[in-house]
């Protein structure tokens, strides 16, 4: 096998390319960015120019549904005798 070992010494390692598909376009990214996108899901990202950014989540006004109508403490109810402690709200 003449030349086999010389040929093995001259082999160059192949550079691995990491690509992700965002909005139907295949983009080359670093390994760290690819793993981040895969963890969250490719549908959670969008293209902004040439950058890949996370889609912002809409903020919702969350409230306790029981306390929405109350304008006072629900456990201290005003009665004709004054304030009365009540364990369960009406």
pLDDT digits (tens, 9 = 90+) for 45-87: 999 998 999 999 888 777 665 555 556 666 677 777 777 676 6
Chain centroid offset of residue 8 CA: 45
pLDDT digit string, tens, across residues 12-44: 888 899 999 999 999 999 999 999 999 999 999
Asked if the structure places residue 60 within a domain, the reply is: no
Q: Domain count of the chain?
A: 1
Residues 30, 40 contacting (CB under 8 angstroms): no
Is 36 domain-assigned? yes
Helix extents (H) in 1-90: 4-9, 31-40
> Residue 47: which domain range?
15-54
Residue 65 counted as domain residue: no
Task: Name every residue whose Cβ is closer than 8 Å to that of residue 38 and which is 6 or more positions away in sequence.
Answer: 20
pTM: 0.53
């Amino acid at each position: 096998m003449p030349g086999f070992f010389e040929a093995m010494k001259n082999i160059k390692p192949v550079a691995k390319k990491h690509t992700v598909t965002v909005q139907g376009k295949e983009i080359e990214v670093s390994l760290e960015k690819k793993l981040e996108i895969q963890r969250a899901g490719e549908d959670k990202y969008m293209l902004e120019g040439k950058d890949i950014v996370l889609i912002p989540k809409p903020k919702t006004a969350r409230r306790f549904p029981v306390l929405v109508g109350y304008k006072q403490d629900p456990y201290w109810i005003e009665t004709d005798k004054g304030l009365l402690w009540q364990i369960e709200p009406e």
